[in-house]
Amino acid sequence: MKLLYTTISLFIFWGLLSDSFAQCNVNTLTNPDFETPVQSSIGNNLTGLYSISGWTMNGGPFNIVKTDGSAYPSGPDTASSGVQYVDITNAAGSIYQDFTVTSLTAVAFGGAFSSRESDPNYIPWLASVQIYAMPSNTLVAISSTKTFMPADGAVPAQDVWYYLFGNTTLAPGQYRFIASLGDFGNFDNAFVFQNCALPVVLTSFSGTYKNSSVGLNWDINRSINFSHFEVEKSNDGISFLKVALVNYINGKNQYQFIDDNATKGSNLFYRLKLEDNDGRYTYSNIIKIQTGTLPSWIISPNPVRDFLTINGLSGNGEIRILDLAGKMLHKVNTTSQSASMNVSFLSKGIYLVQYYDGEKMQSKKMVKE
């Protein structure tokens, strides 16, 4: 749960460009971040839709979720790229797109995966991207993989995007890019880069707030012709200023930086500028660190028989009641600092009352008489 400490981990890739890898920034795929068609609102907009611009969906049902940081309790609040991502509800499936290779070509491929929610019926699933030769439908390459577990769907873990990627060499012909998802999976930011390899990989970037400081940590997998990292900071996620330079050390994979100037009670945003020895550079994804605390909200009466009152809320949010197994039994949306819920339908016992304000989740125990 997001309390005083906030940890956000984003798993991303970065391909340093060189003259021989000039196409690493040209994506072969159409609509790779699912930004079209544009959805009108957040939520499960397109249940039952099995084809969108450039993509075909198999299994599902699938949805397209539009969110730009708006609270979405059933999945990530921020897309890996843009403001929309593809979502699968409670059944396995895959999403694919065909592409052409015209000559013997080095290819980098992959995409970003996350988990939709931690449901009592969650079935662990293996995420991956595969490349098939067509029309023979022969598997020729597979990305790195990740097994998603129920914990990946819990808040705030569901806001983490994991990049899975691979390198291969393809002969001229037709190929199919397939992203495989399981129960409650999400996918975004697909890519196929031709005439390209990924010589530098930033495998993790995370930040934690504690005692008026933010600790940043990041790992790299391998590097070629690399110089240094610049840590950049922002109060609004738009305008960034350089706050530190961290030199690359040959053979070192893990790095950190402590920001002692972290104002309590505000949102802070960080990114890394990664620069090679030739002056070329790119940026990591942006991570958001919450340095404030949850409002002091209370529930009464407790024990309760019929009506439960919740006071001290911050405003817009959601109240949920769960049993001790984690199954959600009731929820209401809130727009003010207090709310009332009829809980007379509940059996006698102990329950959890959760308050989600769009960024943080906190739970309190409730006894039903």
pLDDT digits (tens, 9 = 90+) for 288-332: 787 765 556 788 888 888 888 888 777 677 888 888 767 788 888
Environment class of residue 302 by beta-carbon count within 10 Å: exposed (0-12), middle (13-18) or buried (19+)?
A: middle
| 19-194 matches 202-290 in fold | no
Q: How far apart are CA 369 and CA 260, in angstroms?
A: 48
The string of pLDDT tens digits covering residues 109-155 is 999 999 988 777 788 999 999 999 999 999 999 988 889 988 888 87
pLDDT in the model for residue 11: 38
pLDDT for residue 14 is more than 60 = no
CATH fold of 19-194 reads Jelly Rolls (2.60.120)
Amino acid letter, 222: R
Amino acid letter, 36: T
- What contacts 286, CB < 8 A, 6 or more positions away? 234, 237, 269, 270, 271
CA nearest neighbour of 355 among 300, 292, 312, 303: 312
Question: Residues 190, 28: contact at Cβ < 8 Å?
Answer: no
Asked, as a colleague might, if the bond just before 76 is cis with ω within 30 of 0, I would say no
Q: How far apart are CA 188 and CA 150, in angstroms?
A: 20
Environment class of residue 117 by beta-carbon count within 10 Å: exposed (0-12), middle (13-18) or buried (19+)?
A: buried
- What contacts 197, CB < 8 A, 6 or more positions away? 15, 21, 24, 106, 108, 167
Q: How far apart are CA 285 and CA 10, in angstroms?
A: 7
Residue with the two structure tokens 């304000």: 357
Question: Residues 270, 188: contact at Cβ < 8 Å?
Answer: no
Environment class of residue 41 by beta-carbon count within 10 Å: exposed (0-12), middle (13-18) or buried (19+)?
A: exposed
What are the residue ranges spanned by the domains of the chain? 19-194, 202-290, 298-368
Q: How far apart are CA 23 and CA 191, in angstroms?
A: 12
pLDDT in the model for residue 48: 63
- What contacts 211, CB < 8 A, 6 or more positions away? none
CA nearest neighbour of 189 among 209, 163, 210: 163
Q: How far apart are CA 179 and CA 63, in angstroms?
A: 15
The CATH class that applies to domain 298-368 reads mainly beta
pLDDT in the model for residue 100: 97
Average pLDDT over the chain, rounded to whole? 81
The string of pLDDT tens digits covering residues 259-293 is 998 876 667 888 888 787 766 666 777 787 877 65
The string of pLDDT tens digits covering residues 233-255 is 988 877 889 999 999 988 888 99
Q: What's the CATH architecture for 202-290?
A: Sandwich (2.60)
Confidence of residue 211 (pLDDT cuts 50, 70, 90): confident
Hey, is 107 helix, strand or coil? strand
Residue 280's alpha-carbon distances to 16, 57, 245, 257, 275, in angstroms, are 8, 37, 16, 22, 6
First CA to last CA distance, the chain: 27
Q: How far apart are CA 78 and CA 75, in angstroms?
A: 9
pLDDT in the model for residue 197: 62
Q: Strand locations in 11-137, DSSP E?
A: 51-52, 55-59, 62-66, 84-88, 93-101, 105-115, 125-134
β-bridge pairing 281-283 and 267-276:
antiparallel
What does the block give as tokens for 2? 């997001």
Say how far residue 98 (Cα) sits from the centre of its chain. 25
pTM of the model: 0.58
Q: How far apart are CA 95 and CA 100, in angstroms?
A: 17
pLDDT in the model for residue 295: 54
